[in-house]
């Protein structure tokens, strides 16, 4: 079988190049946009995704992890009583004001008071054990390396949080947050920094580890109903992380912006690609008409056009993937927050292929001009 579509694509590659480039760039833009959005808004839930806890207990209706209100300390007991739970630890969240030694003015910071023991769940993925151990020093705090400039400090410097002196004992990666700067401290230090008197004997969150993490949803359901310790709710880490990310995405309007931009990219890409494919069909219209005169059905000719559209899409998207991979590696080395999971990447590529297919369908319509009777002139 002679592959007309592929042979033409190879021989007349210049004619198809604009379409390939259009699909390639559309795919690349979708990939990078998705990676940036996931990277930026993924940091909204860094407390959850950077920790090893399976369950989170907090104030009912909390939309995002940074909006937590305190709950009764007795909830810890309720969690510990459940046989499925193997460990529970508190998470003390303090919204605070930072004044560094350099002239940076006031910086809004989120202080995370965590269990500094080596087996602590919070920030288990973001803090190496040696660094975590240093939090046990009085008034010790850890910040993200990328935040040093905005805080105006270096490791070893002192600063003031809510009027209380603290000392930066180390830096880590993967602590960057949205809407403010993350500062990690021990539970003891954090309670010193919390100036709200109503928070005595209360805690922002309790996190729990389960014997069987796969049963998280079930256990959360079971723990949720109890009202003996006042208002609280229990979520799986996955649910709470997603809720926090969605809150930021839609609260900031970024979600709508992303969808809008994705639509524009799709539209522009489809216009360029379909015009190029239409021009290619029109350029060969007499040859297509001759095939039809010889009895090759219009359906078969449409297949040729669609195959061309498919290959244009495939080649373009291979380009997107390669360029996207390079861009992501570059972004990582520059501490630009990017994250891309395989499913999202696949979705972006499917959108790119959809663009090529839609363009092919548009080009297919111009085949109606391949009327063999017009060749008899």
Residue 377 found at the interface with another protein (CB under 8 A): yes
Q: Which residues pair with 92 in a beta bridge?
A: 113
Q: Is 217 in the site for another protein (CB under 8 A)?
A: no
**Which residue bears the tokens 């999971």?**
341
Taking every pair of C-alpha atoms in the chain, what is the biggest distance, in angstroms?
95
Q: Which stretch binds another protein (CB under 8 A): 82-90, 235-243, 336-344, 369-377?
A: 369-377
* Contact flag: residue 279 with another protein (CB under 8 A): no
Give the C-alpha separation, 23 to 30, whole Å.
11
284 touches another protein (CB under 8 A): yes
Among 124, 271, 298, 336, binds another protein (CB under 8 A): 298
**The only residue of 148, 171, 246, 296 in contact with another protein, by rule CB under 8 A:** 296
- Residue (10 or 350) nearer to another protein, CB: 10
Task: Name the phi and psi angles at 91, rounded to 5.
Answer: -130, 115
Kind plus residue range of the DSSP H or E element containing 7: helix 4-11
Q: CA-CA distance, 114 to 125, in Å (whole number)? A: 13
Shortest gap between Cβ of 298 and another protein (angstroms)?
8
Selected range binding another protein among 7-15, 139-147, 311-319, 334-342, rule: CB under 8 A: 7-15
The alpha carbons of the chain give a radius of gyration, in whole angstroms, of: 29
Q: Which stretch binds another protein (CB under 8 A): 8-16, 45-53, 160-168, 272-280?
A: 8-16
> Is residue 322 close enough to count as binding another protein by CB under 8 A?
no
Q: How far is the CB of 339 from another protein (least distance, A)?
A: 43
Closer by beta carbon to another protein, 17 or else 256: 17
**Binding span for another protein by CB under 8 A among 5-13, 18-26, 234-242, 356-364:** 5-13
Q: Which of residues 19, 291, 356, 367 is near another protein by CB under 8 A?
A: 291
> Which CB, 6 or 154, lies closer to another protein?
6
Dig out the tokens for 157 from the structure: 């410097």
Of 149, 212, 221, 287, which one interacts with another protein (CB under 8 A)?
287
Size of the site for another protein (CB under 8 A): 27
- Is 11 one of the binding residues for another protein (CB under 8 A)? yes
What is the helix (H) or strand (E) element at residue 21, kind and residue range?
Answer: helix 13-42
| E-only strand ranges, 100-148 | 106-114, 140-144
Q: Which is nearer to another protein, 299 or 342 (CB)?
A: 299
Tallying the residues shown for the chain, one arrives at 377
Q: Which stretch binds another protein (CB under 8 A): 10-18, 98-106, 321-329, 349-357?
A: 10-18
Alpha-carbon span 53 to 50, nearest angstrom: 9
Distance CA 246, CA 230 (A): 27
14 binds another protein (CB under 8 A): no
200 touching another protein, by CB under 8 A: no
Question: Looking at 230, 297, 325, 354, which residue binds another protein (CB under 8 A)?
Answer: 297
Residues 6+ apart with CB under 8 A from 198: 70
> By C-beta, is 64 or 292 nearer to another protein?
292
Q: Which of 32, 52, 97, 114 is nearest to 331 (CA)?
A: 32
Closest C-alpha among 357, 358, 365, 310 to residue 9: 310
Residue 224 tokens read as 């949720």
- The Cα–Cα gap between 226 and 75 comes to 9
Binding flag, residue 293, another protein (CB under 8 A)? yes
**Best CA proximity match to 262, nearest among 30, 18, 14:** 30
Binding site for another protein (CB under 8 A): 1-2, 4, 7-8, 10-12, 284, 286-287, 289-298, 300, 372-373, 375-377
């Amino acid at each position: 079988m002679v592959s007309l579509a592929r042979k033409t694509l190879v021989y007349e590659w210049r004619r198809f190049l604009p379409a390939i480039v259009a699909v390639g760039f559309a795919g690349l833009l979708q990939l990078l946009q998705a990676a940036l959005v996931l990277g930026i808004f993924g940091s909204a839930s860094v407390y959850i995704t950077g920790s090893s806890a399976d369950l989170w207990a907090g104030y009912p209706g909390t939309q995002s992890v940074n909006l937590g209100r305190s709950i009764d300390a007795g909830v810890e007991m309720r969690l510990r009583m459940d046989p499925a739970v193997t460990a529970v630890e508190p998470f003390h969240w303090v919204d605070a004001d930072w004044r560094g030694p350099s002239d940076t003015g006031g910086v809004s910071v989120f202080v995370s008071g965590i269990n500094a023991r080596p087996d602590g769940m919070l920030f288990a993925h973001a803090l190496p054990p040696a660094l975590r151990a240093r939090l046990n020093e009085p008034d010790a705090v850890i910040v993200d390396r990328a935040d040093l400039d905005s805080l105006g400090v270096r490791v070893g410097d002192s600063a003031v949080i809510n009027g209380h002196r603290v000392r930066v004992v180390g830096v880590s990666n993967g602590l960057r947050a949205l809407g403010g700067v993350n500062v990690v401290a021990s539970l003891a230090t954090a309670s010193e920094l919390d100036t709200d008197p109503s928070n005595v004997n209360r805690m922002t969150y309790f996190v729990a580890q389960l014997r069987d993490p796969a049963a998280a949803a079930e256990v959360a359901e079971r723990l949720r109903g109890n009202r003996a310790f006042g208002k609280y709710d229990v979520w799986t880490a996955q649910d709470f992380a997603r809720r926090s990310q969605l809150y930021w995405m839609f609260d900031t309007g970024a979600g709508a912006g992303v969808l809008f931009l994705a639509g524009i990219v799709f539209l522009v890409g489809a216009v360029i690609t379909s015009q190029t494919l239409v021009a290619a069909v029109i350029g060969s219209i007499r040859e297509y008409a001759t095939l039809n005169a010889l009895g090759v059905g219009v359906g078969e000719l449409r297949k040729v056009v669609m195959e061309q559209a498919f290959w244009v899409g495939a080649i373009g998207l291979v380009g997107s993937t390669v360029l996207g991979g390079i861009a992501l590696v570059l972004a990582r080395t520059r501490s630009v927050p990017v994250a891309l999971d395989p499913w999202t990447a696949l979705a972006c590529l499917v959108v790119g292929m959809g663009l090529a297919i839609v363009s092919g369908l548009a080009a297919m319509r111009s085949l109606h001009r391949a009327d063999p009777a017009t060749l008899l002139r």
